[in-house]
Amino acid sequence: MSSQKYIYYHGIPMPSEAHNTESLEYARNFSVEDTDVFAVTYPKSGTVWMQEILPLLLNGGDTTPIKTIPNWDRVPWLEEKRLAIVVDKLSSPRAMVTHFPYHLMPESFHTSKAKVINVMRNPKDVLVSSYFFHQMAKFLDDPGTFDEFMDTFLEGKVLFGKWTDHVKGWKSAELGNRIMYITYEEMVQDLPAALRRMADFLDRNLSEEVIQKIAQHCSFGKMKTNDMSNFSLVPKQYMDPDKSPFLRKGVAGDWKNHFSSEQLAKFTKAIRAEMESEGFSLPWSLD
């Protein structure tokens, strides 16, 4: 991996564009509040979607934040440089996202009552989404061919390391009823149902009307036209939507358009070896 494009923190590569030693130490020493809510994701699993969903769930469907504040300041990444800049503007309950592995979460997180929604996505679609993301995000390494990128991904030489390590760490987190697990696929299949589950978890009693309104505002089509959420505010030299839009397809199962049968066999074998053989079950069939 290109040494200038990534900073290694506890052995895990993170893009230098958004992270530096100060931001990572700031995150580690961050003072987590009991009312904080974190959406935890491996990259390309629905992070930006959660940046749309969380404010609406927490404020009862008021669309002001999603219409006026860019997603990275509205629900900042715990580990990114922006957090220190916007932290004082966050209103309680604060919502944040993070790609941190479980073992890097701040000390104060563990002693707090802060809640976590962990969104997992089928790794085959994560790989495809990441492949296109690496083409448009100029601050990441060029992915090469899809075949080459599959190897890079399986070796964990990508932002935030191996998918399997991230998922295993969070799946074994001992957080009791402070953590809720959901999949990107469940959200795609029935967003209102997913929102109801999240609202219950966050102790928000929302009417069906509000749930439907939130679902509408968080639809792929609506987010694609929301300049506060579609990354159109980012200069082209960092993210080039002509290569691939950030909000690219928003579906489950796009991997079928990209995997050969040989690639599927290789990918499945590698993921299985690191998950199922270690007793971790997955919510999707890998075949």
Contact range with ligand A3P by CB under 6 A, out of 15-23, 36-44, 101-109, 171-179: 36-44
- Rule CB under 6 A: say whether 45 interacts with ligand A3P: yes
Binding mask of the shown chain, residues 192 to 221, with x at each position contacting ligand A3P by CB under 6 A: --------------------------xxx-
Report whether 199 contacts 117 (CB < 8 A). Answer: no
> Which of the residues 99, 134, 166, 217 is marked catalytic?
99
- Rule CB under 6 A: say whether 182 interacts with ligand A3P: no
Known active-site residue 99: yes
Least Cβ distance, residue 239 to ligand A3P (angstroms): 11
Contact range with ligand A3P by CB under 6 A, out of 4-12, 140-148, 234-242, 246-254: 246-254
- Rule CB under 6 A: say whether 161 interacts with ligand A3P: no
- Rule CB under 6 A: say whether 48 interacts with ligand A3P: yes
Nearer to ligand A3P, 181 or 220 (CB): 220
- Rule CB under 6 A: say whether 254 interacts with ligand A3P: yes
Q: Which of residues 118-157 bind ligand A3P (CB under 6 A)?
A: 125, 129, 132
Contacts with ligand A3P by CB under 6 A lie at 41, 43-49, 125, 129, 132, 188, 218-220, 223, 247-250, 254
The residues annotated as belonging to the active site are 99
